[in-house]
Structure 1
């Protein structure tokens, strides 16, 4: 990293937007211990379109009683080791991700995160050379949540 480049700061949780999937304002935990970002999704099917492998999946927002059906090119099926040491094979997609004003292509694994507090986790490969993390704060890239900033759990 260039020493003179000032990177935007993210807190331990931020709102994430996945514009190509039609998803916005997803509460996400920023997790430098995880390599790959992860999205709570139910994989519905794998299919081919114009010679490319796609995956169709559902993203549920139970509070709003909304189910968004998404499609994305799947780049891989990978063994991902979770924090409890268990390895699961998951679909990995690549799609634009936006946090604050920064938009970039990110690899995201599709996982059942129903037992997790956050439907999305942003891993270090998405953070690297783009953000600095200040774990004492939340919502630093989310101006509309200005009142929620601070040292709250």
Structure 2
């Protein structure tokens, strides 16, 4: 009897040491979930590393592009400085000899730059109309005396309709005419390019004005130019050509007018 009791007690004790099937399943599930969590973390970390690597590559490409642009701009600035120095030396030489200077038309062919006066006549192809324009290297953008400006869409693209006014601060009515009479405005439609902020010299606040692109001719120069549409009725000329139009194609001799064109009659 004692032997049977001892054997039975041993079996009971051994059965308590062996894990149940449910415990084994829970342990296996815990291990599986842990492995999945580790794998998911590794995948997320790998993706983040890939995103960072892609971002670094993009930044390096952008830096390289900016360096190339800086190199091109530096070359242009150096060339322009050489052109200006050459023009200044020529002007000083002519002044010292007191000879009648020849009317400059163009620098040597390898420079491919023209000399403009501070005022030139500009012809607008779209409306077949010419205006006297002030050439101003102090202004970054070109501007056009425009009124009654409206935006609209044509074939899904943005356009601008406006009136070009020929009235300026220097216009005076002819003798015997009604002082209140105004010149008939010229209606123009042109593709909208962008918005530009404009601030008048006597104002502190800037205003958003539309920018359009028009074909113009100035002597032998024919190309598209961007114009900010703004009120220039208080200015001496309805058109202003700034640095964006002049750069890479012309130099300006502010002591002369109508070098490349004739004055409007």
Whether the TM-score (by the shorter chain) exceeds 0.5 is yes
How would you bin the TM-score normalised by the shorter chain? 0.7 to 0.9
Cα deviation digits, residues 21-40 of structure 1 (max 9, x gap): x1532111101111110000
Contact kept, 8 Å, 1:43 with 1:55, in 2: the verdict is no
Q: Could you state the TM-score of these two structures normalised by the residue count of structure 2?
A: 0.50
Report which of the two has the higher share of strand: 1
Aligned-pair distance for 1:141?
A: 1.2
1:60 matched to which residue of 2? 165
* Higher Cα Rg, which structure: 2
Distance 2:163 2:240 in 1: 17
Unaligned 5+ runs, structure 1: 146-153
Alignment of 1:4-83 (within 5 A): 4-20=110-126, 22-62=127-167, 65-83=183-201
Number of equivalenced pairs = 143
Contact kept, 8 Å, 1:37 with 1:109, in 2: the verdict is yes
Q: Could you state the TM-score of these two structures normalised by the residue count of structure 1?
A: 0.85
Unaligned 5+ runs, structure 2: 1-75, 83-109, 172-181
Counterpart of 2:229 (choices 94, 107, 110) is 110
Aligned-pair distance for 1:57?
A: 0.2
Distance 2:115 2:186 in 1: 30
Contact kept, 8 Å, 1:32 with 1:124, in 2: the verdict is yes
Contact kept, 8 Å, 1:12 with 1:138, in 2: the verdict is yes
Counterpart of 2:250 (choices 125, 128, 131) is 131
1:150 matched to which residue of 2? none
1:119 matched to which residue of 2? 238
Aligned-pair distance for 1:86?
A: 4.4
Distance 1:57 1:111 in 2: 10
Q: Relative contact order (alpha carbons < 8 A, sep ≥ 6): 1 or 2 greater?
A: 1
Cα deviation digits, residues 43-74 of structure 1 (max 9, x gap): 33110000110010001234682211000001
Which aligned runs of 4 or more in structure 1 are off by greater than 6 angstroms? none
